């Protein structure tokens, strides 16, 4: 390698290093900005609100003004390894909360279907967990599965003469003690998307013409 090529590569490496340093600085300042806002807000709440009011816990959470039933929507493709524990945990943690779980399954995934049926061994479990089978072989989009759940939800509302307070878009993990906060803090009919830290494909944008779009 001649001298000119060496100095050219050395200069390029230096310029890239400077560019990378500015990038790290910019991202660091952004993080510092949001951390400062959080610290400022947390300090303000500690100095004002929490000197006059106790922090809310699950034991002191106020009763909901308008209690209602919740629908939990799950799309389950190739989830035989986890769906059983997810549903069992939900049944045990949610207790007597008023809810129904809709699980969309696929005709070419019998293992997941069997894992769900293994949990639906009691009348209460069968009432709370509804399997929503599909005609299309999986995998397809999560929106397709959630739309099937949505249609089943609306059919149940029409058949049983009630309206769900909220629809919760769930993944293959359970969130402990969700029912009480939802009932208290969500007074009207809405859709609550839950993201899961171990999954990356749970973002649901909303409902358009009674159908969920990704």
- For 126-167, what is each residue's pLDDT tens digit? 999 999 999 999 888 888 998 999 999 999 999 999 999 888
pLDDT at site 70: 87
Q: For the chain, how long is the longest CA-to-CA vector?
A: 84
Domain boundaries, the chain: 3-52, 70-213
Q: CA distances (Å), 135 to each of 132, 145, 150, 154, 167, in order?
A: 10, 11, 16, 19, 23
pLDDT digits (tens, 9 = 90+) for 168-184: 887 755 455 455 556 65
Q: If DSSP codes are grouped into helix, strand and coil, which group holds residue 54?
A: coil
* Structure letter (DSSP) for residue 170: E
pTM, two decimal places: 0.63
pLDDT digits (tens, 9 = 90+) for 70-120: 899 999 999 999 999 989 988 888 778 889 999 999 999 999 999 999 999
């Amino acid at each position: 390698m001649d001298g000119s090529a060496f100095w050219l590569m050395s200069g390029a490496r230096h310029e890239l290093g400077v560019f990378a340093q500015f990038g790290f600085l910019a991202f660091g300042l952004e993080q510092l900005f949001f951390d400062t806002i959080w610290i400022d807000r947390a300090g303000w709440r500690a100095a004002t609100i929490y000197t006059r009011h106790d922090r809310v816990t699950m034991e002191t959470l106020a009763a909901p003004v308008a209690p209602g039933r919740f629908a939990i929507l799950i799309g389950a493709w190739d989830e035989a390894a986890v769906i059983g524990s997810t549903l069992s945990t939900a049944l045990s943690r949610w207790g007597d909360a008023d809810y129904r779980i809709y699980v969309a399954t696929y005709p070419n995934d019998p293992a997941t279907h069997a894992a769900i049926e293994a949990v639906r061994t009691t009348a209460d479990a069968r009432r709370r967990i509804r399997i929503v089978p599909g005609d299309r072989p999986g995998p397809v989009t999560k929106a397709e599965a959630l739309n099937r759940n949505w249609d089943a939800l609306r059919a149940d509302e029409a058949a049983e003469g009630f309206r769900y307070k909220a629809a919760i878009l769930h993944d293959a993990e359970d969130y402990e003690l969700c029912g009480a906060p939802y009932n208290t803090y969500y007074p009207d009919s809405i859709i609550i998307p839950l993201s899961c830290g171990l999954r990356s494909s749970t973002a649901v944008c909303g409902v358009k013409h009674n159908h969920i779009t990704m």
